[in-house]
Amino acid sequence: MPVTYESAVSQLLALGHELLSHRKFDLDHMRRLAEALGNPHRRLQCVLIAGTNGKGSTAAALASMAQAAGYRTGLYTSPHLLRVNERIQINQEPISDAEFAMMYERVDVAATGLVERGALPWHPSFFEMLTAMMFEYFVSAGVELVVLEVGMGGRLDATNIADPCVSVITDIDFDHQKFLGDTLPEIAREKAGIMRPKGLVVLLPQHPLVNETLGTEILERDARPVSAVKHMPPLTPDASQYTASAPALVGRNRFPLVVMGEEIMVDFPLAGRHQLRNLALAITAAEQLNSFGFRILPQHIEKGIRNTRWPGRFEVIPAEAGLPEIVLDVAHNPAGACCGYSLSSGGARNRHARGQSAGGFSGGNCGTRTAFASRNRCRGKRNSGAGTRAPVSGQRRRGGNHRFDLHCRRGPGHSGSEARPAECLSACQKLFKLKSGRLKKVAGCGTCSLACVPISSGTRSSGFTPSFWAVVRCFVRSLIARAASSTALRACGQG
């Protein structure tokens, strides 16, 4: 008797939440399941995206760009908002109920056989089953490119059996510490597990401890880092000459941007400054796919950006029939909650925020977890003088987000694709050592994401040295933001 959609979903849910079980994560189990299905993942070209915040938004934007270029594009994300089908999409259309049931039956038969033969110690988990179903479905449907969002971490995630053309790492912050580690370097090391030896990885400068860890992992794998800094906006988004006047366009990120030598008009439907980092990563990944047999042009990128659909990310539902305007967001960690709080306090003070705990947040590295995480984002001195290149992104922002994407100034012509990671890392061995309550100056290259505080060629600069009271002020601001977000969650019954 064929499996119905309802029974397939019911049996999947009966497997329970893998994070609540005592199973040890083992990628070999996922490889055995894929082998029993004929290794469908090896017949797909993939982009694999890991990170704490922003990977879902990055994945959705990249998939939309590839679709605009005419490619049959698969998108795999987690978790879902309403129906589990949302996790598996082709050209922005979720898998049908009938196809979902068919894929489940095919994978379940293979999994049951492996358990009976002793090839697996237990039945695959909910996420492992869905991941295997996704690979099988995309192969059967003739998908040309698959954009994969990592479920948790990266190194041991079920999606990591894929062999990606391009790996992408979004903003990293604290989440799932029980499984990934209690420090940013530990978490970053798990996320870096999606990098491949001599493979290509797209990333942006972020927290210095994360930069240092990612830089070390890149060197160990001899990977090729590509910075997305060049695709950050050259001016403040929504500047007066680009502001949308039509009500339907309010809240979109709109600005001109040069992509592959051609200027396009970015019209991104996802609100918030943090989304600009996610978008820059997606554009850079799309550009790099041209090295792997794809043909994605600036006009495709422009259209794909405009047509991106990713609900529940600071999504505004207009007021009507006596109901207030509502903002929906799915922040899942303190960094994501601070992004939403910053947006709501800055541009939507009178809106009623209804948080959802479904996960899949698309934010940036805006929030802080501890005083240590916040002190490197406090107001500090910026270097000035001859040869200084102004930060393209990460200028001091309202709402507690103080990120600095600085650039290497060790000599003319040293930037972007010309930067060599080995040089940058060797210059940053003493990254952010504390001494007498102040941060020591370090050298490095923010362009290739391996440091964030520059030193000019031949002379030592003042660097980034916040005072003790600046650290205190920043920490207090982070506590206020976290308290405000907790209050908002309690108000809507989520706290």
Q: Decide if 451 is inside a domain.
A: no
Please say whether the beta carbons of 124 and 32 come within 8 A.
Answer: no
Position 390 pLDDT exceeds 50? no
Q: What is the pLDDT of residue 334?
A: 65
More confident position, 422 or 306: 306
At 263 the pLDDT is 95
pLDDT at 360 over 50: no
Whether residues 228 and 346 fall in one domain: no
Mean pLDDT of the chain: 74
238 & 282 share domain = yes
For residue range 112-138, list pLDDT tens digits in order. Answer: 999 999 999 999 999 999 999 999 999
- How much is the CA Rg of the chain, to the nearest whole Å? 22
> What is the 8-class DSSP label of residue 432?
T
How do strand 46-50 and strand 166-169 relate by DSSP bridges? parallel
Residue partners of 110: CB distance under 8 A and separation at least 6: 33, 36, 37, 132
Can you tell me the distance from the alpha carbon of 264 to that of 254, in angstroms, rounded to the nearest whole number?
11
Buried b (16+ CB within 10 A) or exposed e, 38-74: eebbeebbbbbbbbbbbbbbbbbbbbbbbbbbebebb
Rounded Cα distance between 280 and 364, Å, is: 12
Poorest-confidence range of 18-27, 62-71, 387-396, 480-489? 387-396
For the segment 340-352, the average pLDDT, to the nearest whole number, is: 44
Residue listed under structure tokens 């979902």 = 100
pLDDT of residue 484: 54
Q: Are 233 and 391 in contact (CB under 8 A)?
A: no
Q: Which residue has the higher pLDDT, 387 or 331?
A: 331
Question: What's the CATH number where 143 sits?
Answer: 3.40.1190.10
**Which among 306, 326, 342 is the end of a domain?**
306
Distance CA 168, CA 161 (A): 15
Both 180 and 319 in one domain: the answer is no
| Residue 2, domain member (yes or no) | no
Has residue 447 been placed in a domain? no
Domain stops at, among 277, 306, 335: 306
Q: Give Cβ neighbours of residue 477 (< 8 Å, ≥ 6 apart).
A: 374, 400
Q: Out of 64-78, 339-353, 407-421, pick the least confident.
A: 407-421
Q: Are residues 204 and 272 in the same domain?
A: yes
Q: Would you say 225 and 203 are in contact if contact means Cβ atoms under 8 Å apart?
A: yes
- Inter-axis angle of helices 55-68 and 298-306, to 10 degrees? 120
- What pLDDT is stored for residue 23 in this prediction? 67
Residues 451 and 334: their CA atoms lie apart, in Å, by 24
Residues 133 and 220 occupy one common structural domain: yes
Exposure class string for 463-494: b at 16+ Cβ within 10 A, else e:
bbebeeebbeebbebbeebbeebeebbeeeee
- Which of these ranges, 72-81, 335-344, 421-430, has the smallest mean pLDDT? 421-430
pLDDT band at 313 (very low <50, low <70, confident <90, very high): confident
Same domain, 106 and 35: yes
| Exposed / middle / buried, residue 200 (Cβ in 10 Å: 0-12, 13-18, 19+) | buried
Query: Mean pLDDT, to the nearest integer, of 222-232?
Result: 95
Asked if residue 427 belongs to a domain, the reply is no
Place of tokens 């209050």: 487
The answer to whether the CB of 294 falls within 8 A of the CB of 71 is yes
Q: Give the residue, 354 or 19, on which the prediction is more confident.
A: 19
- Residue 346, classed as helix, strand or coil, is helix
User: Does 389 map to a domain?
Assistant: no
Between CA 214 and CA 191 the distance in angstroms is 9
197 lies in the same domain as 327? no
Q: Tell me the torsion sign for CA atoms 241, 245, 249, 251.
A: positive
- Domain span at residue 186? 26-306
Does the structure show a pLDDT above 60 at 86?
A: yes
Q: Which long-range contacts (CB under 8 A, 24 or more apart) does 262-268 make?
A: 262/298, 264/298, 264/299, 264/301, 264/302, 265/302, 266/233, 266/302, 266/305, 267/302, 267/305, 267/306, 268/61, 268/305, 268/306, 268/308
Residue 461 covered by a domain: no
Asked whether the beta carbons of 424 and 445 are under 8 A apart, the reply is yes
What is the pLDDT, as a whole number, of residue 220? 95
- Are residues 278 and 363 both part of a single domain? no
In this prediction, residues 156-167 reach a mean pLDDT of: 96
Domain termination residue (choose one: 269, 289, 306): 306
Give, in order, the Cα–Cα distances in Å from 154 to each of 125, 149, 380.
16, 10, 33
- pLDDT bracket for residue 352 (50, 70, 90): very low
Per-residue pLDDT tens over the stretch 241-299: 554 444 444 568 889 999 999 999 999 999 888 899 999 999 999 999 999 999 999 99
Question: 79 preceded by cis ω (within 30°)?
Answer: yes
**Residue 437 included in any domain:** no
312 neighbors 86 (Cβ within 8 angstroms): no
Per-residue model confidence as pLDDT tens digits over 170-197: 999 887 777 888 899 999 999 999 999 9
pLDDT greater than 60 at residue 485: no
User: For the residues 436-442, what does the mean pLDDT come to?
Assistant: 35
More confident residue, 464 or 11: 11
Domain count, the chain: 2
For residue 286, is it within any domain?
yes
- Strand bridging mode 253-259 / 262-268: antiparallel
Contact call for residues 400 and 88 (beta carbons, < 8 A): no
Same domain, 134 and 86: yes
Q: What is the tally of helices (H) and strands (E) in the chain?
A: 14, 15
Tokens of 429: 């061995």
